[in-house]
Structure 1
Amino acid sequence: MNHSQAVWGRNVLGKIGALVCILMFVALLDSCVSRFREPLFTVKLLPGTSEPVEGQLDPSVKDVSQLRIEAASHYASLSIRELRTGFWFGGNMWIGEISAAPDAPPGSYDLRVFAPTDKPGVPGAAFRAVVFKDSEALRQSSLSFIQRTFDVRPWVVSLACVPVLGIIFGLVYLVSTRIDQLLAREGCAEIFQLQKTDTGTDVWFGLGLSHGVVEGMEVVVADPAGHEIGRGTVLRADRENAIAQTSIRQDVLRGAYVRLLKHESKE
């Protein structure tokens, strides 16, 4: 892999990474918007399936038998399995599931849970079970654009983007390291940091004492195409990096790199 191929590869990886970031953001937004638009206490089902539900209870309720369930139709039912203490904030709660009968026709079915501590006629929890004819009808009812279109939950898409971004960032790092190695062989290095000064711009680049750079040395500043756009003087240098002062405007230095004069003379 030569320098131009490595730069091209890094640019492509950067664009792919940007697209994946956009996809992850769109999926997160789609997930949040659809979640907030979804009516509370509504459970979507297919005939013969069930979904878990839960509800809060007064601490005085100690047994499932104290709860009373009302169902508007035998096509949808609610069963309570156990009472449990809340994981995050404590408190008493019941755990159960809402089921649709195998022969349940499409439609909405109301279910209510009453506890001895509830006000007369006011349920402690009220759910609406919405039964759909088939999987396609259930998918099309989703308020998520991604799920309606691709039959994939948006949070799954967001989660899948994380390892993909990790791989892309790793590849960008490897390719960037390769670019630095190729440039260093030619006495060149990309400028990785800029700081505006009263007299011009200070530039940080990846050549140091190990590459023959010393304080006071004059270096060439070139644009991405390799054309000289000015010169600079090294202010400080450590083993691997150095800072040079140049009178070139900061906006001209985007994508520029530094070249040592000894390599300039060889050319």
Structure 2
Amino acid sequence: MKTVFHKFAISLFVLILLVAVDAMRSGFEPDTLFRAAAGESVPVGGKLSVSPEDLAEIRDFDSAKAAEYLEAKLDTPDAQVQLLELQGRIWRGEVTVADEARSGEYSLQVMPRGGNPQEDATLYRLRLFPDGRALRRDLPSFCERDLGVRPFWLFVGFLPLGLGCLGLSFLFSSREDARRQALGLGSIYKLARRKHAWEVLFGLGSRHGVRPGERLLLLDSRRRVVGDLVAAKVGPEASHAEVGLETAIEPGFLVARADAPGVGPGTVQYR
């Protein structure tokens, strides 16, 4: 069960990473591009290069009267822009597209009323599509394009599930280690190759009856005795030892006390 949850948790975190990368791809898209399908009304907005207050003092400014301070020009008759709000240089509006709108990319120009189009206008792009399916095919995000879901919501949904599976995997691993330790068997937590020997950290300590200088057995992944080692530094839950470089040792090996049940020159009877 531990192995299943561990593999599932790893797979889920790989998926979360891919979703995060997908979300980042969407973030690189320019904020001056809007998309809309025929028959839709979509919110639009952005930051002006020049604010109406940069050109003239406005008394009794009302943010809800954006249409009085700004003008918008869209070079297609198949869509209309409604200016809704202005806060400093940040404007918000809505684009309504006709049912029979022609597909294509059009220019949207927003600037303060009475301003110079060459100097004061902020340019945006509006892409029109015949339907929602065609619009989704143009999106940079795989999740939005093929699943119809924003990657942010997938990330929010998968992350707690991944953390939960990782926690269960850790719980199962801890219980399995405790069962092994009760039988005098310890997992290898760390295996580092040094110049003169392998440095080994394994899960048997003074609480499990191990003493400094005690000789322990080294078991391979099939629970067969393949060598031995001497406990050097012993802690309550784990110990350090060194093994000669000529010893074939891998992270999946176990360390066993000589009096562990079933330990001998053949296979250790433990599952």
- TM-score of the superposed pair, with normalisation by structure 2: 0.79
Aligned equivalent of 2:268: none
Whether 1:70 and 2:73 are equivalent positions in the alignment is yes
The verdict on how the C-alpha distance between 1:23 and 1:266 changes in structure 2, with shifts beyond 3 A counting, is closer
Which whole-Å deviations, capped at 9, do the CAs of 1:18-75 have from their partners, x for residues lacking one? Answer: 3223323333333333554x46522111323222312233452555433222233453
Contact residue 186 and residue 263 of structure 1 kept, 8 A: yes
The verdict on how the C-alpha distance between 1:120 and 1:147 changes in structure 2, with shifts beyond 3 A counting, is closer
Instruction: Write the mapping of 1:25-40 to structure 2, written as runs, cut at 5 A.
Output: 25-36=17-28, 38=29
The verdict on how the C-alpha distance between 1:198 and 1:43 changes in structure 2, with shifts beyond 3 A counting, is closer
- Distance (whole Å) between structure 2 residues aligned to residue 97 and residue 129 of structure 1: 13
Unaligned runs of 5+ in 1: 1-8, 85-91
2:3 to 4, 11, 18: 11
1:105 to 93, 101, 107: 101
User: What is the letter of the counterpart of residue 135 of structure 1?
Assistant: G
The secondary structure found in structure 2 opposite 1:68 is strand
Instruction: Write the mapping of 1:65-214 to structure 2, written as runs, cut at 5 A.
Output: 65-84=68-87, 92-108=88-104, 109-115=106-112, 119-214=116-211
Report the CA distance between 1:166 and its aligned residue.
0.4
Which whole-Å deviations, capped at 9, do the CAs of 1:104-153 have from their partners, x for residues lacking one? Answer: 51434432112269544345222232232322222222233333222223
Contact residue 54 and residue 96 of structure 1 kept, 8 A: yes
The secondary structure found in structure 1 opposite 2:192 is strand
Unaligned runs of 5+ in 2: 265-271
- Distance (whole Å) between structure 1 residues aligned to residue 114 and residue 163 of structure 2: 52
- Distance (whole Å) between structure 1 residues aligned to residue 139 and residue 184 of structure 2: 59
Residue range with higher mean Cα deviation, 157-166 or 25-34: 25-34
User: What is the letter of the counterpart of residue 14 of structure 1?
Assistant: H
- Distance (whole Å) between structure 2 residues aligned to residue 82 and residue 218 of structure 1: 78
Residue range with higher mean Cα deviation, 209-218 or 143-152: 143-152
The verdict on how the C-alpha distance between 1:73 and 1:265 changes in structure 2, with shifts beyond 3 A counting, is closer
Aligned equivalent of 2:32: 41
The verdict on how the C-alpha distance between 1:195 and 1:128 changes in structure 2, with shifts beyond 3 A counting, is closer
Contact residue 78 and residue 96 of structure 1 kept, 8 A: no
- Distance (whole Å) between structure 1 residues aligned to residue 258 and residue 245 of structure 2: 17
Instruction: Write the mapping of 1:237-252 to structure 2, written as runs, cut at 5 A.
Output: 237-247=234-244, 249=246, 252=249
User: What is the letter of the counterpart of residue 158 of structure 2?
Assistant: C
Contact residue 187 and residue 259 of structure 1 kept, 8 A: yes
Aligned equivalent of 2:222: 225
The verdict on how the C-alpha distance between 1:250 and 1:98 changes in structure 2, with shifts beyond 3 A counting, is farther
The secondary structure found in structure 2 opposite 1:253 is coil
User: What is the letter of the counterpart of residue 233 of structure 1?
Assistant: V
Contact residue 202 and residue 246 of structure 1 kept, 8 A: yes
* Percent of aligned positions that are identical: 22
Whether 1:60 and 2:54 are equivalent positions in the alignment is yes
Q: Cα RMSD between the aligned structures?
A: 2.8
Contact residue 197 and residue 244 of structure 2 kept, 8 A: yes
- TM-score of the superposed pair, with normalisation by structure 1: 0.80
Contact residue 190 and residue 206 of structure 1 kept, 8 A: yes
Equivalenced residue count is: 251
